[in-house]
């Protein structure tokens, strides 16, 4: 049985923000208007202080472990033993190889931690518009603050208008780790324990 041609959906809008046929399209992703529970603007700010403290903590632990390994190597070296170098030659060279690898891995870890911190500390803040649904998904776009405020009003009006149709050009936000950013004063928590809330 062949499907009718009028049942085939057209290609979704590939860019921008579009409202059409009770669907909100955000850069190709569709959100039913009836599932939208909140639309708001905020400034997406990196957690620079927390990223720096995390680097100090991880880097400090790495440096301490490396220092302990070097102290252990110094204590077990043949020169610090009264038995002489002959009885410890093979085991000492093996330990030196392990120590060299540990130092290399430690330096690589420190560079990784620094790069991770720098990616957050030097990241820019962005004016953003967030569209939350009654599930756990949130669409984010960016643009001029006044323009985004206008989009909030347009989307809110479209939710109550069955025949609403409009198109707006917006920028994309590629966030690889949401934990590295502050999302305004709104905090969405799904599960977990020890949540203390936000004091204002």
- Which tens digit of pLDDT belongs to each residue from 30-76? 888 888 889 999 888 888 999 999 999 999 999 998 888 888 877 77
Work out whether strand 17-20 and strand 138-142 pair parallel, antiparallel, or are unpaired: unpaired
Question: Where are the extended beta strands (E) located within 47-179?
Answer: 126-133, 138-142, 166-168, 171-172
pLDDT above 90 (res 143): no
Average of per-residue pLDDT values in the chain: 77
pLDDT at 195: 45
Is the pLDDT assigned to residue 124 strictly greater than 60? yes
Instruction: Count the alpha carbons within 13 Å of 135 in the hemisphere toward its beta carbon.
Output: 8
What is the pTM (predicted TM-score) of this model? 0.59
- Give, in degrees to the nearest 5, the angle at Cα 54 between 50 and 59: 150
Task: Name the most confidently modeled range: 8-12, 154-158, 162-166.
Answer: 154-158
Where residue 85 falls among pLDDT bands split at 50, 70, 90? very low
pLDDT surpasses 50 at 140? yes
How far is Cα 57 from Cα 5, in angstroms, rounded to an integer?
61
């Amino acid at each position: 049985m062949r499907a009718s041609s009028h049942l085939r959906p057209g290609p979704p809008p590939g860019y921008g923000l579009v409202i059409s046929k009770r669907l909100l399209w955000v850069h190709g992703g569709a959100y039913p208007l009836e599932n939208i529970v909140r639309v708001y603007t905020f400034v997406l700010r990196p957690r620079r202080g927390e990223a720096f403290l995390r680097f100090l903590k991880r880097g400090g632990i790495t440096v301490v472990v490396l220092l302990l390994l070097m102290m252990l190597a110094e204590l077990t070296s043949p020169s610090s033993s009264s038995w002489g170098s002959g009885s410890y030659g093979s085991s000492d060279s093996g330990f030196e190889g392990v120590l060299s690898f540990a130092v290399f891995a430690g330096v690589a870890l420190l560079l990784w931690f620094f790069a991770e911190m720098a990616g957050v500390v030097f990241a820019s803040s962005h004016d953003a518009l967030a569209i939350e649904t009654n599930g756990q998904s949130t669409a984010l776009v960016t643009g001029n603050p006044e323009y985004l405020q206008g989009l909030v009003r347009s989307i809110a009006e479209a939710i109550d208008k069955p025949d609403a149709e409009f198109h707006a050009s917006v920028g994309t936000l590629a966030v690889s780790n949401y934990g590295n950013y502050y999302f305004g004063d709104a905090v969405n928590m799904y599960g977990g324990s020890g949540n203390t809330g936000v004091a204002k």
